[in-house]
Structure formats: C-alpha cells, structure tokens
Amino acid sequence: MQTARAVPASTVLNLRDLGGIALGRGRRVRPGAVLRSGQLSGLDAAQDSEVAALGIRTVVDLRTADERSAAPDRLPPGARLFVADVLGDNPGVAPARLRALLADPVEAQRLLGGGKAEEMFAGTYRQMVLSPGAAAAHRAFVETVADDRARPVLFHCTAGKDRTGWAAALLLMMLGASREAVRAEFLAVNPVVRAAFAPYVRDFLDAGGDPEIASAISEVRPRYLDTALDAMDERWGGLEGYVRDGLRIPRAALERLLDGLVVPA
C-alpha cells in the first residue's frame, strides 16, 4: 500500500510528502501540499536545497514549550511558524521526553519496566484524542492546512512519529483514506526513526537497559494507533463525531480542506 514519499534531506529527520496517498474512488492527496517531519532545529537550507525548493509557507510545530525552547526550529526560507502544542496540558508525557527516557536505564526500569513503557505511550495516544488541549491544537492544525494561503504546510514534533503520526492519521482520514492506508503510513516511519535513535538505544542497552523499553520508546506500534482510534470510536462514535463534536471544526474548513488537498489519482 502506498505511503508518503520520503524527501531527501540530510538536516531534517523523517521528512515525508503525504501527496500521492490513495483516498479511494480514484482520488489521492495533492502532492507537495502537506508534509510531515521531525523537528527543524538542525535545518540547513543551504545544504538541503530540496527542502528549500519545497516552497514551505507554514511550519506547524506540535511540540511543547520546553521542547521548542531547547531546540528552536530553523524555518525554511519564507516560511512562518505556527505553534499547535498537542501536549500543552500535560507536557511531561512520554513523547516529549524521548531522549531523557533513554538516558538513565535504572530510572527507566523503575518507571517503564514490565510493559509499562508501551502502556505509557498507548495512554498518551488516548490523551491526544480525548484532552481538550489536544483537541484545540488539532483543530488549529487542520484549519491551517485547510487554508490555501498557508500551503505548502510542514507539520512536525520531535521525532515525527507520535504526535505527528496521529496528526497525519487524522488528516488522512478526514480526506477519505481508509484505516488500512492510515495504518500503513503510520508504521512506515519506523525504519527512519529507529535509525535516528540507534545511538541513544545502543548507549542505553550497553548500560544495561531493557531492550523492550528501548523498542517501545523508539518506534511506533500498531497498538498506539489502535488506542487512539478506539478512543475516538468510544467517545464520539467514529471520525465524523470526533471532527464535529470533539474537534469542532467548522463545515467551511472541511470543505476547504477537501477542495485543496483531494485530486484525481
């Protein structure tokens, strides 16, 4: 099943163009309009000419204030920054502390051993669907992507896998992608993020860290996405109710989103 196109970039982690993903009934996502990645703190536009050539107008940063302060984005030429902090009402949760969780094997075992690492991440995905702060951030994200003056849009968190993964899943479902297509894109980032975290994981394991904890932290798993989808279905009866009553996205914004991002296959 087709997933996002990886954009060659040496100074941006996990840069992917959602354009081309199949939406069914002979439709696909418009190429070059909405992209996902990890943080942009290391972006070198001179070195990564392909990134500059994307013509990004808006960068949507899904990270917490602490993450933004520690590693501020370096924006592509001509782009503006828009903050949509998904974890703002609970900034200490796992996706905001990926490297810190791998830095101390003893503390990691105390907090995350015995399967608690996967439980923590799954719980964060549930929070990303149910918390009011996350809903406000996702509404702002969708309304930004729906604005043709804001596109091309690049959205990201730290590694581009958890907050960015759910934002991509939400957007693709709203455009008409099947859950199978959404799942394929969600899991497709694993090779890149595993490679990016490999030095930290190696140090963690060399210091006696639990491989299961490292794995749960440094990858996305089907259960994480399933937990978010289950929360959406249980609370709002599915995508339509979530968008209407959970995110409260105006009908006009939905129409602009579809008009701007859905093209013939």
Number of structural domains in the chain: 1
**What is the predicted pLDDT for the residue at 221?**
97
How far is it, in rounded angstroms, from Cα 91 to Cα 112? 18
Give me the domain span that covers residue 189: 5-264
Name the residues annotated as catalytic: 157
**What is the predicted pLDDT for the residue at 244?**
97
**What is the predicted pLDDT for the residue at 95?**
63
Who contacts 178 (Cβ-Cβ below 8 Å, separation ≥6)? 24
CATH number reported for the structural domain that contains residue 179 in this entry:
3.90.190.10
pTM of the model: 0.95
Is-contact 35 54, C-beta < 8 A? yes
**What is the predicted pLDDT for the residue at 30?**
98
Q: Which of the residues in the chain have pLDDT under 50?
A: none
